[in-house]
Each structure stands twice: as C-alpha cells, then as structure tokens.
C-alpha cells in the first residue's frame, strides 16, 4: 500500500483529502504545520507528499527544499493559483500543482499520475481501444501502432492520466511545451485536432467551453 503524507493546516481540507485517498487504497498520514511535517519526513519514508504552501511555522516552499534530497515526489496543493505561482512551484521541483478549490476526482487522478511516473503504479495506460506504453513510447489502437509526434504523445499521456477531468488550456500548454502560456491557443488546438483524428477519438476528447479539453472515459 502506497504511503502518502498530507501537509495541510486546514483540518476540514486535510480530513477530506485523507478520507478520499484512504478510500482509494492509500495509507495516509496527516500533518498540520511545516515543523510537524519535517519531523515526520525525517522519521519515515513516503511515496508521495501533498503539500500546502501557506503553512504555519515552515512554509511549503521551504519544506520542499527539505524534501527534495529525499527523492520523495511532491504535489503542491494550494490556493495560490496564478500562472506565476504555478511556474514557481514547478521550477522549485514540485511534481505537480493543484489549485484549491479542487475536485476529488482530479486530486485522485493527479496522485495516480505522479505515482505512475515514479514507477509506483501501473506502467501502461489503457482507455477505450488505445494502449499507451510511456516507457517504450508506443501507442497501440486495437493492437495496431499509431504514429504520434512527441507533443501529441505527451498530450495523450496528460489527458489519459487526468481522464474525466476538464484541463485548462494553460495547464495543458505549460505541461507539454514547458513554457508559460500566453493565451495563443492555435498550437494546442491544432495538436488536439490531430490527436483526435489519429486515434479516432473525436467523440472522446471533448472541448470544454472557456476551459480547455477533457478525455471522457
């Protein structure tokens, strides 16, 4: 059973996360300030740390610097939702960044995605008639290889890892292209259109008005 440390000073949110992740089969430990979290990290190994930024005593940024040498993956879970905040968090070494308020389904999908990237979950992704092997960089549709560009492949992985979650255009762009989103959507929209056509997923990859895209499972 994978072990997750939840570092969140709001007791209601901490409890919601704990109940949701425990129900999904994770072994959860809770901390309510940075000092308590640092003590737990020193004494125990965790497969993942969910980390708020605005914490009492030691904030999330400082705590991340303490966590990085251990190799434990970290997902920031915070109300600091500007593009600059997300970029800062990812550049500091967080493996993902979730903005409050969040949907439990999105949280679970993000946790599963990070665990999978760290080799703690299933390696292959499967949905509808498509199987993706991230290690071999291979996509099969009904057993037949599908040729995707690097960006198309990365987009597909992100959509599959966040199935049934509406993903904002800025998050999709910044995750795949690795640079700040300026509001120009043509590049992303073109890649989505090509991905739909190559996979025959016109009915599965949905456009979400004023948000972005969602892969319906």
Domain 3-117 shares a fold with domain 125-215? no
pLDDT at 135: 67
pLDDT at 183: 84
pLDDT at 203: 93
113 sits in the region (left: phi over 0; alpha: psi -120 to 50; else beta) called alpha
pLDDT at 15: 92
Q: CB count, 10 Å around CB of 15?
A: 13
State the number of CA atoms in the 13 A half-sphere of 1 facing the CB.
11
**Which tens digit of pLDDT belongs to each residue from 75-132?**
999 888 788 888 888 888 899 999 888 888 888 888 888 887 776 655 678 888 999 8
pLDDT at 123: 60
**Which tens digit of pLDDT belongs to each residue from 14-47?**
999 998 888 777 889 999 999 999 999 999 999 9
**Which tens digit of pLDDT belongs to each residue from 128-156?**
899 988 767 889 999 999 999 999 998 99
The fold of the 125-215 domain, in CATH, is Arc Repressor Mutant, subunit A (1.10.10)
Q: Domain residue spans in the chain? A: 3-117, 125-215
pLDDT at 122: 52
The structure's pTM equals 0.59
In total, the chain counts a number of residues equal to: 217
β-bridge pairing 3-7 and 74-78: unpaired
The yes-or-no verdict on residue 202 having pLDDT over 70 is yes
Higher-confidence position of 189 and 217: 189
β-bridge pairing 130-133 and 167-168: unpaired
pLDDT at 144: 94
pLDDT at 217: 78
pLDDT at 162: 83
The fold of the 3-117 domain, in CATH, is Rossmann fold (3.40.50)
């Amino acid at each position: 059973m994978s072990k997750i440390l939840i570092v969140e000073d709001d007791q209601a949110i901490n409890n919601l996360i704990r109940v949701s992740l425990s129900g999904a089969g994770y072994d959860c430990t809770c901390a309510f300030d940075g000092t308590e979290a640092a003590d737990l990290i020193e004494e125990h190994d965790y497969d993942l740390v969910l980390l708020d930024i605005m914490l009492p005593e030691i904030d999330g940024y400082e705590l991340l610097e303490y966590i990085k040498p251990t190799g434990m993956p970290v997902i920031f879970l915070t109300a600091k939702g500007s593009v600059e905040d997300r970029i800062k968090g990812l550049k500091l070494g967080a493996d993902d960044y979730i903005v409050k308020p969040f949907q439990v389904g999105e949280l679970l999908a993000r946790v599963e995605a990070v665990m999978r990237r760290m080799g703690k979950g299933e390696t292959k992704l499967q949905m509808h008639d498509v199987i993706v092997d991230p290690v071999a960089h291979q996509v099969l549709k009904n057993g037949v290889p599908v040729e995707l560009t690097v960006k198309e492949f990365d987009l597909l992985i992100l959509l599959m890892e966040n199935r049934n979650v509406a993903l904002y255009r800025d998050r999709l762009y910044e995750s795949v292209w690795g640079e700040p989103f300026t509001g120009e959507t043509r590049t992303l929209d073109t890649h989505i259109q090509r991905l739909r056509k190559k996979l025959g997923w016109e009915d599965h990859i949905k456009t979400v008005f004023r948000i972005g895209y969602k892969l319906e499972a």
